[in-house]
Structure 1
Amino acid sequence: MMRKMNWKLVGPAVAVVAMVSGCSGGESGGSKPKAAPSDQAASAAVDYNETAELTIYASSSSFTEDIFKSRVERYVRSKFPNYKLNYVKPGSMTVPDMIATQNVPDIFLFALPEMQKNLLPNGLQYDLTELIAKHKVDLNRFEPGLLQTFRDVSGDGKLFGLPESTNPHVMFYNKDIYDKFGVPYPKNGMTWDEAYEMSRKMTNFQDGIQYRGVTMFFRTMLTNNAASLPIIDAKTGRAAVNTAPWKTIFDNAKRFYEVNGMLTGYKPGDGAAELTAFYTDKNIAAVISPLSAYTRAGMNDIEWDMVSVPVSSAQQKTGLQVEPRAWFISNTSKSKEQAFQVLLHVLSDEVELANSKSGKTTSLQNETIAKAFGAELELLKGKNTSAAFHNKVAPSPQAPELATNGANLLSKEFDAVIQGHKDVNTALRYAEETINKAIEEEIAKTGK
């Protein structure tokens, strides 16, 4: 049997629509929030007047200094007036450079791929279990699928980070097109079968225009599938896409493109161009996409709203996987206790509510906080923001270190299926063979 590998290929999630500066509201939780306990009670041993200096680094370019000051520093300072927080600009230094120069931050804000790419390979992870127990942190406050994702990806069930936000998928729809054809607007909780029948009704040729039903940014949909299927099996180090469950996912999505008229004006690729076409061509009824797309300037050109991504059945409300961001403490930090207090405070109900209103969605199971999402944003006034929280989050499976190769290949094969160049079985078989070949070449090159 082939030895376990460390090949940099995609696993549970991929890069999604770029997170926009000042709009990390494009990153959202992905479950229907439930009532939750109020702010986590801090340990009696906490000294709020203690002096500490901590450095914070986030990999996302959306974590600007303004965001750092408005969503982190000012809240921490109000609780811990003698804490000094230093901001490290994203991209200003690589993690290996930080290690080499002994300038490793105390706190990281990483998305799941960054955890796999920079935290784990460099041995900077720190298990929060002891601190969680010491300070009696109620983990039930968090969306369970997010916690499970980080436990799974750690490889041994440890919890190295506390989830901060995500970028779930929603279904955006053009209200004008629904009004034109007299079809009721989509609703939260639709099944895939219901969405398919709706898409058929919305695919019409009228007044010289081919209107199209439901299309998808399918690269992110496939890799964030609700069944939590990996592209590569972490245990065997082999591709895992030529399977019956993956065939079910392909079959479900491809039927939307088999409706007569859906390929008229179709933009080949990975589905990203279909998202753009939604607000530029203005002839697409709905598109399934990462939530962050609402920040695109072109969305102002149409009358849109959103609902939750369809699910397999009305009883089964598990949505897609999400690509969560989380707060991590470096194992090199000399101020782990103080760093943990920062994490607890920025994830408190008080701070999460304020940040939710300004456009950062929550990782907490708290209905009040979720309902407040985007309340201060003109872009989201009157929009169905509950769409981002309606479904449960599907946990992401453990996987090898992330990159985009496998996701790109899988979406390329799905694109070939849509256009009738391949059948599903051929596409999945080719994808599996190609990924395995690349794995073997990497092992031969690196010996890993």
Structure 2
Amino acid sequence: MKLKRVLAMMLAAGMVCTSLTACGGSKTAETSAAGSTEKTETTKSDEKATSTGEKKVLSVTTWDYDTSPTFQTVVDAYMAKHPDVEINVIDTSADEYNNSLGISLSAAQPDPDVIWVKDMGSMLQMADKKQLLPLDDFMKKDNFDLSIYNGAAEQLQYNGATYGLPYRSDWYILYYNKDLFDAAGVPYPSNDMTWDEYNDLAAKLTSGEGSSKVYGGHNHTWQALVSNWAVQDGKHTVVEKDYSFLKPWYEQALALQDNGYIQDFSTLKTANIHYSSVFKNQQCAMMPMGSWFIATMIQSQASDETSFNWGIARIPHPADTEAGYTVGALTPVGISAYTDEPDLSWDFVKFATSEEAANILAEQGVFTGIQTEESLKTIASAQFFPEGDSNVEALTYTHYIFDRPLDPKITEIKTVLEEVHEMIMIKQYTVDQGIEELNKRVAEIKGW
């Protein structure tokens, strides 16, 4: 498969949700990495008895395994490196993953060994139920260096323990339309640009009226497109007792909207306008968006849906913060607390989250928790990826901040954040009223 096609398929998938069929005493969908999916009722002892060559057997959970190289690649690479290990893949469709995994783990049986985590909330639930094995003793024994993840691994720690390491990664960057910048005679965004400089560019790049208007920037309707920049410096999270730190960022978003430099929230929401159409139709010159959108644009160019020149830059940063800070989310991988192969499971997790695996996965267009020069060059070599060293540099970061922290109440809090965000952006709340509402409702959720 050509790299460009793989890159488009993988990154467009973004951080896909996942599912797993229950294992406890019932039939599970298990796939030998060397064979096809079939219904089985085997236990690990049965597998070991029938496994040829006295191979060690490891079971891992995945979703949509047959249609995605995200997991296949690292499973195959590990077995090639360890011919004495057979990996059984417990796979199911994405939308059933958390429910089925929860049922499986509630049976407290030795399969699965290794768990790819769907989202942070489910990881916290598993940790609270003591269904995940803390990795700290393994890391201490191996003198494992977490710095290779640029701060992301530390943010996965929960209640003082590490339950997963970064596997797949997505983060925010700035997309821009080179042709619109050229037409305006304005230099392209740099990889060291403040949000104030971004606002100035948005003003310069706004032109036209009505249906032919081109906006200098574009903010999608997500609450994260405001709060991300407020937590970008790592000093705050979206779970706080006092949300006054959000005020300047909401004032900035409202100013861009009031001046007509971005489309107004109400229009986007009412018309259900997707951010991809705004950028593809050249209705905006710049757009902060996740790294997964690279694949969307590559696919769009490959299919001749779009033909304009585009580029990427590091996400702008606060004035008092150096370039290289970004906001994103991870797909972690951890170990079941019930595994009967803890050492082998740890060895697999180490490999899956290593620099070696990062370079292998890059050939499939997968961004991982580790950035290496080799992996970035591999991804950037895809056809239709923007040309130029600055675009490759745009994929690098020095600090990786989670868009939301590891908090057991994060799902409830996120709902409140979205509701208040909408009220502020449509001006049913002033910024101060919105902050007061956040302080009150989050305090109720947290019991403060």
Into which bin does the TM-score normalised by the smaller protein fall?
Answer: 0.7 to 0.9
Match of 2:207 in 1: 204
What TM-score do the two structures reach when normalised by structure 1? 0.75
Contact 1:25–1:356 (8 Å) recurs in 2:
no
State the Cα distance separating 1:408 from its structure 2 match.
Answer: 4.2
Match of 1:46 in 2: none
The one-letter amino acid of 1:352's match is: A
What is the aligned counterpart of 2:189 among 186, 190, 202? 186
What is the aligned counterpart of 2:173 among 167, 170, 173? 170
In the alignment, does 2:10 pair up with 1:22?
Answer: yes
Match of 2:385 in 1: 380
Match of 2:407 in 1: 400
Q: Which whole-Å deviations, capped at 9, do the CAs of 1:92-114 have from their partners, x for residues lacking one?
A: 66222102443641111115524
Q: CA 1:57–1:131 in structure 2 vs 1: closer, same or farther (change >3 Å)?
A: same
SS in 2 for 1:320: strand
Aligned counterparts of 1:337 and 1:230: Cα–Cα separation in 2: 35
Contact 2:170–2:291 (8 Å) recurs in 1:
yes
The one-letter amino acid of 1:147's match is: A
Q: CA 1:295–1:253 in structure 2 vs 1: closer, same or farther (change >3 Å)?
A: same
What is the aligned counterpart of 1:328 among 329, 334, 347? 334
Instruction: Out of 190-199 and 106-115, give the one that drifted further.
Output: 106-115
Q: CA 1:410–1:130 in structure 2 vs 1: closer, same or farther (change >3 Å)?
A: closer
Percent identity between matched residues is: 15
In the alignment, does 2:50 pair up with 1:52?
Answer: no
The one-letter amino acid of 1:358's match is: Q
The one-letter amino acid of 1:426's match is: Q
What TM-score do the two structures reach when normalised by structure 2? 0.75
The one-letter amino acid of 1:77's match is: M
Match of 1:131 in 2: 138
Aligned counterparts of 1:223 and 1:270: Cα–Cα separation in 2: 22
Match of 1:348 in 2: 354
Aligned counterparts of 1:264 and 1:25: Cα–Cα separation in 2: 28
In the alignment, does 2:296 pair up with 1:286?
Answer: no
In the alignment, does 2:220 pair up with 1:213?
Answer: no
Match of 2:366 in 1: 360
State the Cα distance separating 1:253 from its structure 2 match.
Answer: 3.1
SS in 2 for 1:126: coil
State the Cα distance separating 1:332 from its structure 2 match.
Answer: 0.7
SS in 1 for 2:174: strand
State the Cα distance separating 1:429 from its structure 2 match.
Answer: 1.7
Contact 1:26–1:295 (8 Å) recurs in 2:
no
Aligned counterparts of 2:272 and 2:159: Cα–Cα separation in 1: 32
Q: CA 1:356–1:114 in structure 2 vs 1: closer, same or farther (change >3 Å)?
A: farther
SS in 2 for 1:362: coil
Aligned counterparts of 1:127 and 1:348: Cα–Cα separation in 2: 18
In the alignment, does 2:258 pair up with 1:258?
Answer: yes
State the Cα distance separating 1:64 from its structure 2 match.
Answer: 4.9
Aligned counterparts of 1:339 and 1:349: Cα–Cα separation in 2: 18
RMSD value, Cα: 3.4
In the alignment, does 2:74 pair up with 1:72?
Answer: yes
Structure 2 unaligned blocks of 5 or more? 1-6, 16-52
SS in 1 for 2:83: coil
State the Cα distance separating 1:394 from its structure 2 match.
Answer: 2.5
Contact 1:270–1:412 (8 Å) recurs in 2:
no
Match of 1:14 in 2: none
The one-letter amino acid of 1:316's match is: E
SS in 2 for 1:85: strand
Aligned counterparts of 2:400 and 2:270: Cα–Cα separation in 1: 23
SS in 2 for 1:213: coil
Aligned counterparts of 2:71 and 2:403: Cα–Cα separation in 1: 31
Aligned counterparts of 1:266 and 1:129: Cα–Cα separation in 2: 47
State the Cα distance separating 1:313 from its structure 2 match.
Answer: 2.4
Q: CA 1:270–1:160 in structure 2 vs 1: closer, same or farther (change >3 Å)?
A: farther
SS in 2 for 1:322: strand
Instruction: Out of 61-70 and 159-168, give the one that drifted further.
Output: 61-70
Aligned counterparts of 2:110 and 2:12: Cα–Cα separation in 1: 27
Q: How many residues align?
A: 388
The one-letter amino acid of 1:199's match is: A
The one-letter amino acid of 1:130's match is: D
The one-letter amino acid of 1:76's match is: Y
State the Cα distance separating 1:117 from its structure 2 match.
Answer: 4.8
Contact 1:150–1:161 (8 Å) recurs in 2:
yes
The one-letter amino acid of 2:11's match is: C
Q: CA 1:146–1:264 in structure 2 vs 1: closer, same or farther (change >3 Å)?
A: closer
Match of 1:120 in 2: 127
Aligned counterparts of 2:68 and 2:260: Cα–Cα separation in 1: 49
In the alignment, does 2:247 pair up with 1:244?
Answer: no
Structure (1 or 2) with the greater helix fraction = 2
State the Cα distance separating 1:162 from its structure 2 match.
Answer: 1.7
Structure 1 unaligned blocks of 5 or more? 1-18, 28-48, 234-239, 444-448
Q: CA 1:24–1:176 in structure 2 vs 1: closer, same or farther (change >3 Å)?
A: closer
Match of 1:4 in 2: none
Instruction: Out of 272-281 and 385-394, give the one that drifted further.
Output: 272-281
Contact 2:328–2:401 (8 Å) recurs in 1:
yes
In the alignment, does 2:433 pair up with 1:426?
Answer: yes
Aligned counterparts of 1:62 and 1:305: Cα–Cα separation in 2: 31
Match of 1:155 in 2: 159
State the Cα distance separating 1:75 from its structure 2 match.
Answer: 0.5
Contact 1:111–1:324 (8 Å) recurs in 2:
no
State the Cα distance separating 1:160 from its structure 2 match.
Answer: 1.8
